[in-house]
Structure formats: structure tokens, C-alpha cells
Structure 1
Amino acid sequence: MKKLQIICLAAFAFLYTNTTFAQDSAATNYDQGFRLGFGLSGGLPTDGDYDWALGGDVRLQYDLSKRTSLTLTTGFTNLFIGKDDAGNNVKDLGFIPAKAGFKAFIWEDQFYIMGEAGAGFAVTNGYNDTSFLWSPSIGYANKYIDISVRYEDYNKFKTNQIALRLAYGFDL
């Protein structure tokens, strides 16, 4: 039953996006191309193990149409000292995320939703884990500025965060 629900939801999403873009004549004449963006993020972990997070990223975006894009994102994120359940200090965790995603503009070609998934590679303080990570976000973007809020979950690092990203982007 659950598989049937997932298949129906996927079919509905495909038909909805296909119908929406089929009616937009500007999408058929849109020049596809690449964009590059550089961003800074500040976040608050939601589980209490870490106090705050800070990171920087580089995002390569390929515009499929005026309203849809594929993304590749990497950078560095550091989760700063916190306390574990016993009250002991937890060492900072720095990692390199590598994510692929899909971005869809949903309102006035400036407000978007995006989903990304990938891996986080721990690189500081003796951590050797690699974690699956996923990250849904909502945001606003114009020709140069991109502002978004995202939830990011790292299952192997046993933490997650809500982060604000401010970025500068340009066409390549």
C-alpha cells in the first residue's frame, strides 16, 4: 500500500510540473546555462549537542529552464562546542558537505524551494565518520543575491541544524 502511495505521489508531481511548464512559453525559449554562487551560513543545531554552526559554500547551478535548476554544493561547515547528555563538553565537528540537488522557483521567478542530498565528510578533531545528509530549503534569489533558510540533517553525526544562507551568485 505504501509503495502505491509513493508511486501515485511521484506521478502527480511529474504531471503537475509538466503541465505547469508546458503552459509557460518563456520556458521554451530560455537559454540554459551555469551559475556560480558563494555563500556564508550560520545555523543553530536543534538537538542540543552543539551550540551553533558556521559555514561557507560554493554552489554550481545549471538552469534547466527559467524555473528549474540542478545544483552541486560543497564547502566547509563547523559545529561548535556543546554538551552531551551527561553534561560533558563535545569537541567541535568540522566537515565538508558534498550535495546534489534540485531547485524549483514557485512564485514570481524569485522564491524557490530546493532539496539536496549527499554526504558530509568529517575532517577535524579526530572524527573519521562520513554521514548521509539531506537538506530541504526555501529561499529568495535574484540575479546576484540568494537568501535561504534550510534544515540540514546529518544522521551519522547524530545532529541537525536550521541555517540561514546568504550568497552572491553570477552567470558563468
Structure 2
Amino acid sequence: MKKLKFICLAAFAFLYANTTFAQDKAATNYDQGFRLGFGLNGGIPTDNDYEWSLGGDVRLQYDLSKRTSLTLTTGFTNLFMGRDDLGNNVKDLGFIPAKAGFKAFVWEDQFYVLGEVGAGFAVTNGYDKTTFLWAPGIGYANKYIDLSVRYEDYHDFKTNQVALRVAYGFDL
């Protein structure tokens, strides 16, 4: 009886150690690398200063693991005409965002959460401001397509928006 217990215990220990080793081996074999994505963005500002937004972006992503990545995003966004609190027309505001972020896949390696922070540099219609911006979002990505929704706040531009991003991405 003691031999049977010893054999069962040894078999359990062997299987447990083998499973643990296999998981560690799989984690170290993941190919870290870069991805590049080109996206189109459309948004609705949540205040009354602007009516809508449209833009394009380029995102460089470095995969730390299968589920986590670092991102750098830039492009151009234009907030289209609206009215201020007094009813006066507000000129369009075009700016270049420069953001760094962290992306974490949370469900089935396709659904993710993303947080980005950075600056927005105004470049149109005589605006001469740079603003802090932050943008949390959620999305879905597969090997080539990336769809996401984000909230984006532009502190010194005194506005924010909810935006949809549709992008095509690929490995470098």
C-alpha cells in the first residue's frame, strides 16, 4: 500500500512539474515585436463647442507579451465648427496628437483596454496652444483589423469627445 501511495505521489509531482515547465517554456517562446496600424477616427464632442470630429492616425505598437503592449500614436484630428456659450461661431480646430499608451488584452486575446496620455499641438486657424490629453478606450483587434471606442479629453482646448477608430494593422 505504501508503494502505491508513493507511485501516485511521484506521478502527480511529475505531471505537475511538467505542466509548470511547459507553461514557462511557452511564455519565453512568444515573439515580441512591433506592429504598425493606420486608422480613421470619427467622434462626437460631449460639449457644445464643436459639432463633430474627423481624423487619421498612425500607431506603433510593441508587444511586451501576448496580452500586453506599449503604444505610440500620432496623426491629425480636426474638430469641426460649433458655437460657444454666447452663440458665436467657433473656428475649426485642427491638431496633431502625440500619445504614449498601454494596451492590455482582457478577453480571448482579442478584446482590450487601452490608456493613452500625451499632448495635442494646435496647427490650424490661428490657434496657438498645446494641450495635455488623455484617452481611455476599449476595443477589439485581430491579426489585421482594430476597432475601438475611446473617450478623449483635451484640457487646454476645453473640450472632449467620444470617438470611434477603425484601423488596419500588421506586423513589422
TM-score, L = length of structure 2: 0.85
**Residues in 2 aligned to 1:27 and 1:137: alpha-carbon distance in whole angstroms:** 27
**Cα deviation digits, residues 114-146 of structure 1 (max 9, x gap):** 000000000000000000000000000000000
Equivalent residue of 1:99, what SS? strand
Tell me the matched-pair count. 150
**Cα deviation digits, residues 53-101 of structure 1 (max 9, x gap):** 0000000000000000000000000000000000000000000000000
Cα shift at 1:29: 2.0
Does residue 84 of structure 2 align to residue 90 of structure 1? no
Specify the structure having the higher radius of gyration (Cα): 2
Residue 56 of structure 1 corresponds to which residue in structure 2?
56
**Residues in 1 aligned to 2:130 and 2:143: alpha-carbon distance in whole angstroms:** 34
Equivalent residue of 1:127, what SS? coil
Residue 11 of structure 2 corresponds to which residue in structure 1?
none
Q: Which runs of 5+ in 1 are unaligned?
A: 1-23
Does residue 154 of structure 2 align to residue 154 of structure 1? yes
Residue 141 of structure 1 corresponds to which residue in structure 2?
141
Residue 66 of structure 2 corresponds to which residue in structure 1?
66
**Residues in 1 aligned to 2:29 and 2:68: alpha-carbon distance in whole angstroms:** 14
Residue 109 of structure 1 corresponds to which residue in structure 2?
109
Q: Which runs of 5+ in 2 are unaligned?
A: 1-22
**Residues in 1 aligned to 2:96 and 2:70: alpha-carbon distance in whole angstroms:** 20
Q: Percent identity?
A: 84
**Residues in 1 aligned to 2:31 and 2:48: alpha-carbon distance in whole angstroms:** 46
Residue 75 of structure 1 corresponds to which residue in structure 2?
75
Equivalent residue of 2:27, what SS? helix
**Residues in 1 aligned to 2:28 and 2:148: alpha-carbon distance in whole angstroms:** 27
